[in-house]
Structure 1
Amino acid sequence: MFGPNRYKEDKEGILAKKIDKTVDTQGRDTKKKEKESRTIETFFRNTLRSNLDLTSLADSKASILISVNGFILTVIVTASGVYLSNPDMIYPFISIIITALISIALAAMAIHPRYKKELIKKDFLRKFKSLLYYQDIANMDPDDYVQNVRIILNNKEDTYEHLIRHSYILGVEIAIKYKWLRRAYATFALGLLISTVIAVFSMVKMEKELTSTNQFEKIFEPSGATLLTDGKVLLMEDESLNTMHLVKPNNDNTVRELGTPAMDKKIKKILKKKVRDIEGVTNDGHDRIYAITSHTTNKSRERKKAREQIVRFDYHDGRIDNLKLYHGLLNELSLLHPKFKQALADLKYGSRKEQINIEALTWDKKNKTLLIGFRSPLIDGKAPIVILKNPNGVFDNHEKPHLKGPILLDLQGHGIRGMSWDEKRQGYWISGGSVGSRKHESFSLWFWNKDKNQVKKIEDIPNLGYAEGLATLPDGRILVVDDDGSISTHGANYNLIDTNVDTNGSLMNKKRGKK
């Protein structure tokens, strides 16, 4: 029973148990290693996915910010006429543009591709060439790239180390993206807040100005004014298709708008197509009205017949009739004085200040002539007035204009912007303004005694505005209309001034519209 065979069997059984135990241990080790490998792979997979998601999110946010600010810029530039025509809105306009541009620039910094040297600041990474980064891949020969990938894949530890370094580079790039993105959004929010505050203050200021100044509702760029026989005042707009407006001054220094005078469709068509840039208007003391255009070139320095017209028509009981036009004054002016001839010769390339620019017209009751006032050119630093001796002959008998002058008035460097005859004082009120750009320029009021050829400046006018139209009323007041309105924002301003003047050229018992 306990012979050699039994001993042999026991020995074999013990050996078999040891083998089974070893196999079980190796199996458990293999499973443990497989589990560890899956954990590592999951870690790298999640790390790369997280980095890619963060990168995509940053790029999307930056793209949205660029699109929003691009849209804001488009809207602002499209509506720039509204802002630039109102000085109070220029600052919020500039603030919004600067905010949008800076936000776009910062957002672009967040998404623009970077060189690896911008991302690597650690010494141990400076010589590292990633087999997963596009720049290093592009710099390798295809065969070298394949060989390096095989080498890395043959060694799991090397593969893990390579992935770790690559993840670090991606993390640095993401950090840079979000740094620029935070700056872009902070700039956008802060700039929008500042722009809103400035815009609110500007609108409050503008509202105060609108409520404290006499202002037209539907008249925006009046350039000439004349008193009519029925007590109304005819206003002319220089660049509007609705050239004429009737208004009625009230005793409380306000003005009531009466709309446009009645006229035939034919007259409307002629005024719309053949007459542009009317600057001066007057009447002969009865019902005959004369008007004159600027006789300047357009913005492209081109001469246009519509801008070189003298106009005559009859007015009666709110209606315009018998419209006539004359073209040809510039040629006669060039024969009158060398300064006018030179201005005509330099029309294309000369200074705007030296161009012929007519801005005023008034009637000489005594001589039955028209007085034409020039904004430019000045002659020896003085503003010229040219006399048209035969206005009715020009229109009725097709005569050439008989010109006389020029009479030179020393307006201290100003050109003539408006003129009006004062029957009571037997002289002319003159509005003087800058020859060139009127920005930051103050206009001036003068009284001219033509018979004595004396001109006096009225000193105590606080703010005449951009007075381009004057109409002397029977009660001694002057209706002053300013060419400072904008069809998109506000009407033009006006004032009513009492013309009681002492011998020193000061206004007495001055009454003005609310200002």
Structure 2
Amino acid sequence: MSRWAIKSDHRRRRFGGARMKRILPLALLFAATSLSSVAQAAEPSLFGYREMCNASAAAALDKDHFVVADDELNVLRVYRRNEAASIAQVDLSSFLGTKPSKESDIEGAARVGNLIFWISSHGTNRRGEVQDRRRRFFATEVVERPSPTVRTIGKPYAKLVEDLAGDRGLASYNLAEAATRPPKASDALNIEGLADGGDGSLLIGFRNPLPGGKALVVPLLNPTELIAGTPARFGAPVELDLAGRGVRSIERVGSSFLIVAGPIDQEGAFELYAWPGPATDKVAPVPTKALAGLFPEALIAIPDAQEIQILSDDGKAPVGGKTCEKQPRDQQAFRSVVFKP
């Protein structure tokens, strides 16, 4: 154990349709003079946060604050819940060894004790080109004062694909070859979920591949050792029947887990599932309207609240004749819903 020891995704990707009626369109969030009052009039738990569109991974800092990654930027933003503007930004470019304009495609986060672990997609770009900057596993430490934020700790780890490909227990998934395919192609490698395993481990949730049509979850046994440069060790993989969907987000809630399941591409619906954990492959759908109209990619269990926050990746949402992610930073936003499961 290192000195950083743990202290104790058929709906098309568009807006509209009957299911969208409950959710305030993103364009209205931009036009609103008061995001808070407009959101409450349409849906009490809906809120829009500014300065980014592609909310792809997040973790709670405390009951009132959370930190979010954008898969198109190497910047983390800290928000106070129900306040539209971020209160802090953490630029990761230098730490991750990338240029500011070259994203690492951060897709998953998991808080364990005072550390938040982050994982990038580890997939290729859309053209199937392997890019080292998309292969990062790293950690940040929660800083509580004077205002909640995070700071980097340890070293980014860039050899996870090699470790996955070399593990005998994962050999049947051909992950070395999968890692050379475009991420939304059949049997490609694309990671989007990360969760506290509850015993010092993390659970890696794969959007792709879907072995036998099932979602793949792999336990990472030694996360703190990775940020000190030690190769990864893995537990037995679990295949979950999410009705042909992959893992878009996974979060530990108490002693069990919630999973946002979604398509490997942009065609299909998202659903929420409950899962007891790695000891079983049994999952149960969670009836909820909370996902309606959203493109959910991040789950947060709000501390001391028995509530779940879902963040929507709204990068492709149409705003002013462009997609959200093509707008100036001060005109970008993503939606969030808080509900009780």
Matched-pair contact (CA < 8 Å) for 2:301–2:308: yes
CA distance in 2 between partners of 1:259 and 1:350 (Å): 33
Question: Is 1:449 the equivalent of 2:291?
Answer: no
Partner of 2:260: 431
Partner of 2:336: 494
Matched-pair contact (CA < 8 Å) for 2:49–2:85: yes
Deviation at residue 324 of structure 1 after TM alignment: 1.7
Of 295-304 and 336-345, more deviation after overlay is shown by 336-345
Q: 1:345 to 1:296 in 2, by over 3 A?
A: closer
Deviation at residue 435 of structure 1 after TM alignment: 1.5
Deviation at residue 285 of structure 1 after TM alignment: 2.2
Matched-pair contact (CA < 8 Å) for 2:96–2:156: no
CA distance in 1 between partners of 2:113 and 2:68 (Å): 16
Q: 1:392 to 1:455 in 2, by over 3 A?
A: same
Question: After superposition, what is the alpha-carbon deviation per residue over 1:77-106, rounded to whole angstroms, capped at 9, x for unaligned?
Answer: xxxxxxxx9768xxxxxxxxxxxxxxxxxx
1:224 maps to a residue whose letter is A
Matched-pair contact (CA < 8 Å) for 1:215–1:491: yes
CA distance in 1 between partners of 2:265 and 2:91 (Å): 35
Residue 333 of structure 2 aligns to a residue in which SS?
Answer: coil
Question: Is 1:478 the equivalent of 2:334?
Answer: no
TM value normalised by structure 2: 0.75
TM value normalised by structure 1: 0.51
Deviation at residue 354 of structure 1 after TM alignment: 1.3
CA distance in 2 between partners of 1:260 and 1:387 (Å): 32
Matched-pair contact (CA < 8 Å) for 1:214–1:493: yes
Q: 1:342 to 1:309 in 2, by over 3 A?
A: closer
2:73 maps to a residue whose letter is S
Deviation at residue 469 of structure 1 after TM alignment: 0.2
Question: After superposition, what is the alpha-carbon deviation per residue over 1:49-75, rounded to whole angstroms, capped at 9, x for unaligned?
Answer: xxxxxxxxxxxxxxxxxxxxxxxxxxx
Identity of paired residues, percent?
22
Partner of 1:245: 77
The size of the alignment, in residue pairs, is: 288
Partner of 1:458: 286
Q: Superposition pairs for residues 321-332 of structure 1, below 5 Å?
A: 321-332=152-163
CA distance in 2 between partners of 1:297 and 1:330 (Å): 11
Question: After superposition, what is the alpha-carbon deviation per residue over 1:192-237, rounded to whole angstroms, capped at 9, x for unaligned?
Answer: xxxxxxxxxxxxx875576545322212100011112474211111
2:117 maps to a residue whose letter is Y
Q: Superposition pairs for residues 171-190 of structure 1, below 5 Å?
A: none
Partner of 1:316: 143
Matched-pair contact (CA < 8 Å) for 1:343–1:350: no
Structure with higher Rg: it is 1
Question: After superposition, what is the alpha-carbon deviation per residue over 1:227-282, rounded to whole angstroms, capped at 9, x for unaligned?
Answer: 124742111110124x2111222xxxx45443334579954875837861000011
Q: 1:230 to 1:308 in 2, by over 3 A?
A: same
CA distance in 1 between partners of 2:200 and 2:211 (Å): 26
CA distance in 2 between partners of 1:357 and 1:345 (Å): 9
CA distance in 1 between partners of 2:192 and 2:182 (Å): 21
CA distance in 2 between partners of 1:282 and 1:271 (Å): 25
CA distance in 2 between partners of 1:305 and 1:414 (Å): 27
Question: Is 1:222 the equivalent of 2:55?
Answer: yes
Partner of 1:132: none
Structure with bigger strand share is: 2
CA distance in 2 between partners of 1:293 and 1:414 (Å): 19
Residue 163 of structure 2 aligns to a residue in which SS?
Answer: helix
CA distance in 1 between partners of 2:122 and 2:208 (Å): 11
Deviation at residue 364 of structure 1 after TM alignment: 1.6
Q: Superposition pairs for residues 72-151 of structure 1, below 5 Å?
A: none
Q: Superposition pairs for residues 385-400 of structure 1, below 5 Å?
A: 385-396=217-228, 398-400=229-231
CA distance in 1 between partners of 2:77 and 2:178 (Å): 36
Q: 1:463 to 1:371 in 2, by over 3 A?
A: closer
Structure with bigger helix share is: 1
Matched-pair contact (CA < 8 Å) for 1:339–1:379: no
Q: 1:271 to 1:409 in 2, by over 3 A?
A: farther
Deviation at residue 319 of structure 1 after TM alignment: 4.1
1:390 maps to a residue whose letter is N
CA distance in 2 between partners of 1:380 and 1:408 (Å): 9
User: Which structure exhibits the higher relative contact order, with contacts defined as CA atoms closer than 8 Å and separated by 6 or more residues?
Assistant: 2
Matched-pair contact (CA < 8 Å) for 2:251–2:259: yes
- Where structure 1 has 5 or more consecutive residues not aligned to the other structure, the ranges are 1-84, 89-204, 500-515
Deviation at residue 407 of structure 1 after TM alignment: 0.8
- Where structure 2 has 5 or more consecutive residues not aligned to the other structure, the ranges are 1-12, 17-24, 31-37, 316-323
CA distance in 1 between partners of 2:279 and 2:79 (Å): 34
Of 482-491 and 218-227, more deviation after overlay is shown by 482-491
Task: Please provide the CA RMSD for this pair.
Answer: 3.0
